[in-house]
Amino acid sequence: ACSGTHVLATAQVGLIKLLRAERRGPETRVHFVCGGRALADYERKHDLTRRLALRFACAEDDLEQAVERLQEQSNANYKALKDAQTALVEAEVQQLLAATPPAASTPRLLVQQYPGWQGDQVKQLALALRNHPGLMIVLAGGATPQLFVARSEGVTIDAGKVLRALVAAAGGKGGGRGDYAQGAFPDWQHASQALALATDIVANARD
Protein backbone atom coordinates (compact mmCIF):
# COMPACT_ATOMS: atom_id res chain seq x y z
CA ALA A 1 0.00 0.00 0.00
CA CYS A 2 1.12 3.55 -0.65
CA SER A 3 2.42 5.28 2.48
CA GLY A 4 2.44 8.75 0.95
CA THR A 5 0.28 11.72 1.88
CA HIS A 6 -2.60 12.32 -0.55
CA VAL A 7 -4.09 15.76 -1.09
CA LEU A 8 -7.18 16.88 -2.95
CA ALA A 9 -5.33 19.76 -4.64
CA THR A 10 -1.73 21.01 -4.87
CA ALA A 11 -2.80 24.13 -2.96
CA GLN A 12 -2.97 21.93 0.14
CA VAL A 13 0.77 21.24 -0.20
CA GLY A 14 1.59 24.93 -0.17
CA LEU A 15 5.13 26.19 -0.56
CA ILE A 16 7.71 23.63 -1.75
CA LYS A 17 11.44 24.18 -1.26
CA LEU A 18 14.00 21.82 -2.82
CA LEU A 19 16.95 21.57 -0.45
CA ARG A 20 19.39 19.36 -2.34
CA ALA A 21 19.67 16.41 -4.69
CA GLU A 22 21.99 13.42 -4.38
CA ARG A 23 22.91 11.00 -7.13
CA ARG A 24 22.56 7.36 -6.06
CA GLY A 25 23.65 5.35 -9.07
CA PRO A 26 21.03 5.75 -11.81
CA GLU A 27 18.62 7.41 -9.37
CA THR A 28 18.48 10.81 -7.71
CA ARG A 29 17.38 11.36 -4.13
CA VAL A 30 15.65 14.73 -3.68
CA HIS A 31 15.47 16.40 -0.27
CA PHE A 32 12.71 18.97 0.19
CA VAL A 33 10.38 20.59 2.68
CA CYS A 34 6.89 21.87 2.03
CA GLY A 35 3.99 23.62 3.65
CA GLY A 36 4.63 24.93 7.14
CA ARG A 37 8.08 23.35 7.26
CA ALA A 38 9.13 25.18 4.11
CA LEU A 39 7.86 28.46 5.54
CA ALA A 40 9.70 27.84 8.81
CA ASP A 41 12.89 27.05 6.88
CA TYR A 42 12.57 30.28 4.91
CA GLU A 43 11.90 32.35 8.05
CA ARG A 44 14.91 30.85 9.84
CA LYS A 45 17.26 31.51 6.93
CA HIS A 46 15.85 34.98 6.36
CA ASP A 47 16.41 35.84 10.02
CA LEU A 48 19.97 34.50 9.85
CA THR A 49 20.70 36.47 6.68
CA ARG A 50 19.29 39.64 8.23
CA ARG A 51 21.42 39.26 11.37
CA LEU A 52 24.57 38.63 9.33
CA ALA A 53 23.89 41.66 7.14
CA LEU A 54 23.58 43.80 10.27
CA ARG A 55 26.80 42.37 11.67
CA PHE A 56 28.71 43.00 8.44
CA ALA A 57 27.00 46.36 7.90
CA CYS A 58 26.08 45.51 4.33
CA ALA A 59 23.09 44.64 2.20
CA GLU A 60 21.93 41.03 2.25
CA ASP A 61 22.90 40.65 -1.41
CA ASP A 62 26.46 41.72 -0.54
CA LEU A 63 27.01 39.12 2.18
CA GLU A 64 29.04 36.76 0.00
CA GLN A 65 31.48 39.51 -0.94
CA ALA A 66 31.74 40.61 2.70
CA VAL A 67 32.59 37.08 3.80
CA GLU A 68 35.18 36.75 1.02
CA ARG A 69 36.86 39.99 2.16
CA LEU A 70 36.88 38.77 5.75
CA GLN A 71 38.40 35.46 4.69
CA GLU A 72 41.10 37.22 2.66
CA GLN A 73 41.95 39.42 5.64
CA SER A 74 42.03 36.41 7.93
CA ASN A 75 44.39 34.58 5.58
CA ALA A 76 46.65 37.65 5.37
CA ASN A 77 46.70 37.99 9.16
CA TYR A 78 47.51 34.29 9.55
CA LYS A 79 50.41 34.57 7.11
CA ALA A 80 51.73 37.66 8.89
CA LEU A 81 51.51 35.84 12.23
CA LYS A 82 53.37 32.82 10.86
CA ASP A 83 56.05 35.07 9.34
CA ALA A 84 56.47 36.83 12.69
CA GLN A 85 56.70 33.50 14.51
CA THR A 86 59.36 32.30 12.07
CA ALA A 87 61.37 35.49 12.58
CA LEU A 88 61.06 35.10 16.36
CA VAL A 89 62.24 31.49 16.18
CA GLU A 90 65.23 32.43 14.00
CA ALA A 91 66.21 35.19 16.42
CA GLU A 92 65.85 32.84 19.39
CA VAL A 93 68.08 30.25 17.68
CA GLN A 94 70.88 32.80 17.36
CA GLN A 95 70.40 34.00 20.93
CA LEU A 96 70.52 30.47 22.35
CA LEU A 97 73.62 29.57 20.36
CA ALA A 98 75.37 32.76 21.48
CA ALA A 99 74.40 32.24 25.13
CA THR A 100 75.43 28.58 25.29
CA PRO A 101 79.20 28.13 25.54
CA PRO A 102 80.76 25.36 23.47
CA ALA A 103 80.99 22.09 25.37
CA ALA A 104 84.31 20.42 26.08
CA SER A 105 82.90 17.44 24.24
CA THR A 106 79.85 16.89 22.06
CA PRO A 107 77.05 17.66 22.61
CA ARG A 108 76.25 21.19 23.69
CA LEU A 109 73.13 20.86 25.81
CA LEU A 110 70.37 23.44 25.37
CA VAL A 111 67.67 23.38 28.06
CA GLN A 112 65.04 26.14 27.99
CA GLN A 113 61.41 26.79 28.82
CA TYR A 114 58.88 28.99 26.99
CA PRO A 115 55.62 29.17 28.97
CA GLY A 116 54.48 32.16 26.92
CA TRP A 117 54.93 30.43 23.56
CA GLN A 118 52.55 28.07 21.84
CA GLY A 119 53.58 24.44 21.63
CA ASP A 120 53.95 24.52 17.84
CA GLN A 121 56.35 27.49 18.12
CA VAL A 122 58.57 25.60 20.55
CA LYS A 123 58.50 22.57 18.26
CA GLN A 124 59.54 24.83 15.37
CA LEU A 125 62.41 26.13 17.51
CA ALA A 126 63.57 22.61 18.38
CA LEU A 127 63.54 21.59 14.72
CA ALA A 128 65.39 24.77 13.70
CA LEU A 129 68.11 24.07 16.27
CA ARG A 130 68.61 20.64 14.73
CA ASN A 131 70.16 22.39 11.73
CA HIS A 132 73.19 23.27 13.90
CA PRO A 133 75.55 20.32 14.50
CA GLY A 134 76.57 19.10 17.93
CA LEU A 135 73.44 20.04 19.88
CA MET A 136 71.26 18.14 22.33
CA ILE A 137 68.01 20.07 22.70
CA VAL A 138 65.49 19.92 25.55
CA LEU A 139 62.73 22.53 25.32
CA ALA A 140 59.35 22.97 26.98
CA GLY A 141 56.53 25.34 26.08
CA GLY A 142 52.82 25.94 25.81
CA ALA A 143 50.03 26.75 28.25
CA THR A 144 49.65 23.02 28.85
CA PRO A 145 53.36 22.28 28.71
CA GLN A 146 54.80 20.14 25.96
CA LEU A 147 58.33 18.78 26.02
CA PHE A 148 60.55 18.52 22.93
CA VAL A 149 63.81 16.59 22.88
CA ALA A 150 65.97 16.52 19.76
CA ARG A 151 69.53 15.95 18.65
CA SER A 152 71.41 17.45 15.73
CA GLU A 153 74.10 16.06 13.47
CA GLY A 154 77.08 14.58 15.28
CA VAL A 155 75.15 13.58 18.41
CA THR A 156 74.38 9.94 19.10
CA ILE A 157 72.31 10.27 22.28
CA ASP A 158 68.85 8.74 21.84
CA ALA A 159 66.30 11.57 22.11
CA GLY A 160 63.46 9.12 22.65
CA LYS A 161 65.31 7.50 25.54
CA VAL A 162 65.96 10.89 27.13
CA LEU A 163 62.34 11.96 26.80
CA ARG A 164 61.01 8.72 28.23
CA ALA A 165 63.30 9.12 31.23
CA LEU A 166 62.20 12.73 31.75
CA VAL A 167 58.46 12.03 31.60
CA ALA A 168 58.84 8.97 33.82
CA ALA A 169 60.70 10.99 36.44
CA ALA A 170 58.41 14.03 36.35
CA GLY A 171 54.94 12.63 35.75
CA GLY A 172 54.43 13.17 32.04
CA LYS A 173 53.90 11.05 28.96
CA GLY A 174 55.27 10.82 25.45
CA GLY A 175 57.77 9.11 23.19
CA GLY A 176 59.58 9.33 19.89
CA ARG A 177 62.56 8.36 17.78
CA GLY A 178 66.27 8.50 18.35
CA ASP A 179 66.59 11.93 16.73
CA TYR A 180 63.36 13.56 17.92
CA ALA A 181 60.73 12.96 20.60
CA GLN A 182 57.99 14.90 22.31
CA GLY A 183 55.78 14.57 25.35
CA ALA A 184 53.48 16.51 27.65
CA PHE A 185 52.93 17.32 31.32
CA PRO A 186 49.74 18.21 33.22
CA ASP A 187 51.19 21.54 34.43
CA TRP A 188 54.34 23.63 34.60
CA GLN A 189 55.34 22.31 38.01
CA HIS A 190 55.91 18.89 36.46
CA ALA A 191 57.52 20.36 33.33
CA SER A 192 59.97 22.45 35.37
CA GLN A 193 60.90 19.38 37.37
CA ALA A 194 61.72 17.57 34.13
CA LEU A 195 63.89 20.42 32.87
CA ALA A 196 65.78 20.47 36.16
CA LEU A 197 66.61 16.80 35.64
CA ALA A 198 67.61 17.19 32.00
CA THR A 199 71.35 17.69 32.50
CA ASP A 200 71.77 14.54 34.60
CA ILE A 201 69.49 12.41 32.42
CA VAL A 202 71.26 13.47 29.23
CA ALA A 203 74.63 12.74 30.87
CA ASN A 204 73.44 9.25 31.84
CA ALA A 205 72.18 8.64 28.29
CA ARG A 206 75.56 9.22 26.63
CA ASP A 207 76.93 6.27 24.70
Q: What is the pLDDT of residue 2?
A: 66
Tell me the whole-structure pTM to 2 decimals: 0.73
User: Which residues make Cβ contacts (< 8 Å) with residue 189, sequence separation at least 6?
Assistant: none
pLDDT beyond 90 at 104: no
* Contact indicator for 93, 129 with CB cutoff of 8 Å: yes
Question: Considering the domain boundaries, does residue 77 fall inside one?
Answer: no
Kindly report, residue by residue over 152-202, the tens digit of the pLDDT.
999 999 999 999 999 999 999 999 999 999 999 999 999 999 999 999 999
Secondary structure letter of residue 62 according to DSSP = G
Same domain, 108 and 184: yes
CATH code where residue 178 lies: 3.10.310.40
Band of residue 28 on the pLDDT scale cut at 50, 70, 90: very high
Range of the domain at 29: 10-57
